[in-house]
Amino acid sequence: MQASNRLLDFPKPVFSMLWQFMQRFNYELAVLSRFFIAIVGGYFFTAVSVSLLSVVVPVSKVDAVLLSVSASILIYTLVFIYSFYLQSLKTVWISILLSVAVQFFILSLMKGWL
């Protein structure tokens, strides 16, 4: 940590200021980042998973849509709480991004978008 700090310090003062800022507001930035992944990540997660759900369930079109939108807020809430439940912020980011990507991939295969 110390070494990299000095490394950034020397050539570019802008980087150093940014680094200091991040050090100083480490906690605040972590909170912001967690809120961001909870709100935006949770939104994308919900969007893609309810879309997938509506394609997967073996009922009529109208029913599939109504069922999945009714469940959407439940999913969003769970993802939101999940992102505050885990200690490691990195795990939260990776798991949400990865699961969104996987679900989107499956959805695209099923709909033939690829």
Which region, judged by CB under 8 A, interacts with other proteins, from 5-13, 18-26, 59-67, 97-105?
Answer: 59-67
The DSSP symbol for 25 reads T
Q: Stretches 5-13, 15-23, 70-78, 98-106: which one binds other proteins (CB under 8 A)?
A: 70-78
Q: In this structure, what token pair is assigned to residue 86?
A: 């885990």
Residues whose CB is less than 8 angstroms from the CB of residue 19 and which lie 6 or more positions away in sequence, other chains included: 5, 8, 9
* CA dist., res. 108 & res. 101, Å (int): 10
> What are 20's two structure tokens?
């200091």
Phi first, then psi: what are they for 44, rounded to 5°?
A: -65, -40
Stretch that binds other proteins, among 3-11, 13-21, 41-49, 94-102 (CB under 8 A): 41-49
Taking every pair of Cα atoms in the chain, the longest distance, rounded to a whole number of angstroms, is: 64
Over the window 78 to 97, marking each residue x when it contacts other proteins by CB under 8 A and - when it does not, the resulting string is: --xx--xx-x----------
Residues contacting other proteins: total by CB under 8 A = 35
Under the rule (CB under 8 A), what is the footprint of other proteins? 31, 34, 39, 46-48, 50-51, 53-55, 59-70, 72-74, 76-77, 80-81, 84-85, 87, 107, 111
